Amino acid sequence: MNSKNSNNNGSSIGNCFAEDGTDIKDTNKLVILNAHVVSPGSMDLLPVEDMPLLDKPNQAIVVEDGVIKAVLPSTEAPSGSQWKVHDVKGALVIPALTECHTHAIFSGERAAEFHARIEGETYHDQQKKGGINATVSATRYATDESLLSNLKYWLGVFLRQGVTTVEVKSGYGLSHEQEIRLLSIINEVKQQQQQAFVEVAPTYLGAHAVPKEAKSREDYIEEMVMKTMPVVRNEGLADFVDVFVASVAYTVEEADFIYNAAHGLGFSLKAHLWELEHDNSRKLLEKYPFVSVDHLEFAQREDLEVVFDQGTVPVLLPLTAWHLGYDIRRTYDLIKDLKGYFAISTDFNPGTSFSPSLWQAITVAHIEFGLPIFELFFASTVYGAKALGLNDRGAVLPGNKADLAVLTVPSLDWLGYLHGINPVDMVFKNGSPVQ
C-alpha cells in the first residue's frame, strides 16, 4: 500500500482541501500535483494490443473548467493564486472508470434462485417460473421513491469505486407505463447526479423478457414499437435501445423488427447477444449500426469479424459468465486473433450478477479467465467509454473531462493481485473532488 498517500489528509474522499488548507471544491483552475499518471495513451479505437500505455511519474494534471488542459512534469506546473493545488504525493492517478452495461434499477432480490443455480438449476429453467419476471413483479410493486433511492444508493457504490459514468437499462417494468416510469426515474437521478458526480446513460430495454400478462408476444412487441419507443424518443428518456436476443427472451426476427423501428426513430443501438447460445444475430449487425454488442460468450469468429468491420465495441461481462459457468476466454481469444478491442462491465443485476464492482469484474476476468490486467484496464476505461459512444473520457489526456481516480495501490500490477478491496482513494468528476 502507498501509506504516504492513504494517510494523506488531502486525498481521501470527504477531505477536499489543498495543501494550504483552502477548499478546492469550487475551483475552476486546479493542478493535481505529483501524480503518477497511468492511462490509455490514445482515444482511438485501436486494437487492444496497440493501445499505448501512458506511465508517467511526477506529473501535474492541469484542469480548467472541468477539462484536462495539460499533463506535464510537476516542476512545470502553473502557479499563482488563481490555481488551487492538490498534491497526491506520488499516488497513481488513472482515468475514472465507465460502467457501460448495468440493470441497476430494480426492486427485490433473487437470492434463492441464485443459490439453487449454484446447486444445479439452470438459468433457462428458472426463467419459466421466476427469473426476470420475478424482478418485474417486485419492481412494479415498488414505489417511485424506493426505486429512486435504491438507484442512487447503487450509483454511490459505483462512484466510490472510481466509476463516474454508468449506463442504466430499464427492463424490469415490461409494460408501457412501467417502462416509462423506470426511465423517468433514471432520468430524475440523471439530473440529480449531474451535480452529485455520476453521469448516467439511460437505455430502453423493454425487450428484456416477454411480460407474463401479455396477450401474445406480438402484442407486447407492437406496444413497444408503436407506443413506448416514440414516447421514449420524443421525451428524450433514453440514449439507447437494447434487446435481449436469446431463446429465453426475443428471437432474431423479433429483434430485427424492434431495431428497425428504433433505428428509424434515431436511437443508438445496443444488444445482448450470444449470452446463452449461438444464433444468426449476425444479420442484425450487418443491417444496423450498433454502438456495442454485449455478452458474446457463444459468438463465432465470423460474428466478431462483422463487429470489428462495423467499428462496434464488444462488451465482455466476466461476472455473469463466471456465475453462469460460461467462458469469455474463448471470445477473448477470437478478439485478439482478429486484432480487436473490447470493453468490460459488471452487468449489475439481481439475477446473474449481483455485484456492483468493476474491480471484481477485473479480478474475475484476470484470475478466472486469464485476461491480461493492462488490457482489462483499457477495457474499463477508454473502451468502456467508447461502448457508450463517448469520446471525451477514459484517458488522462488533454481535452478529456477531468474524471479521475486516485488509487491506494502503488502500481497497476497490483490490480487483480490485491483483490477484494476498493483500490480507490479519491475521485474527481469534471475536476471536482467527490464528497
**Where along the sequence are the contacts to Fe ion (CB under 5 A)?**
347
Closest-CB residue for ligand NIG? Answer: 351
Q: Least separation, in Å, of the C-beta of 277 and ligand NIG? A: 12
Choose the contact partner of 360 out of ligand NIG, Fe ion, none; CB within 5 to 8 A by kind. none
- Report the residue number, 35 or 243, with the smaller CB distance to Fe ion: 243
Q: Which of residues 328-367 bind ligand NIG (CB under 6 A)?
A: 347, 349-352
Q: Least separation, in Å, of the C-beta of 99 and Fe ion? A: 12
Based on the shown chain and the rule CB under 6 A, indicate whether residue 244 belongs to the binding site for ligand NIG.
Answer: yes
Stretch 68-97: interaction string toward ligand NIG, x if CB under 6 A: ------------------------------
- Report the residue number, 163 or 426, with the smaller CB distance to ligand NIG: 163
- Report the residue number, 193 or 292, with the smaller CB distance to Fe ion: 292
Strands 404-407 and 424-429: antiparallel
- Report the residue number, 18 or 201, with the smaller CB distance to ligand NIG: 201
Sheet with 199-207, edge to edge strand ranges: 97-99, 163-169, 199-207, 240-244, 268-273, 290-295, 313-316, 343-344
Choose the contact partner of 351 out of Fe ion, ligand NIG, none; CB within 5 to 8 A by kind. ligand NIG
Stretch 103-142: interaction string toward ligand NIG, x if CB under 6 A: x---------------------------xx--x-------
- Report the residue number, 77 or 207, with the smaller CB distance to ligand NIG: 207
Based on the shown chain and the rule CB under 6 A, indicate whether residue 259 belongs to the binding site for ligand NIG.
Answer: no
Q: Least separation, in Å, of the C-beta of 321 and ligand NIG? A: 10
Based on the shown chain and the rule CB under 6 A, indicate whether residue 242 belongs to the binding site for ligand NIG.
Answer: no
Choose the contact partner of 244 out of Fe ion, ligand NIG, none; CB within 5 to 8 A by kind. ligand NIG
Q: Least separation, in Å, of the C-beta of 377 and ligand NIG? A: 23
Applying CB under 6 A, the site for ligand NIG has a residue count of 13
Based on the shown chain and the rule CB under 6 A, indicate whether residue 11 belongs to the binding site for ligand NIG.
Answer: no
Choose the contact partner of 132 out of ligand NIG, Fe ion, none; CB within 5 to 8 A by kind. ligand NIG
Residues that bind ligand NIG (CB under 6 A): 103, 131-132, 135, 244, 272, 275, 320, 347, 349-352
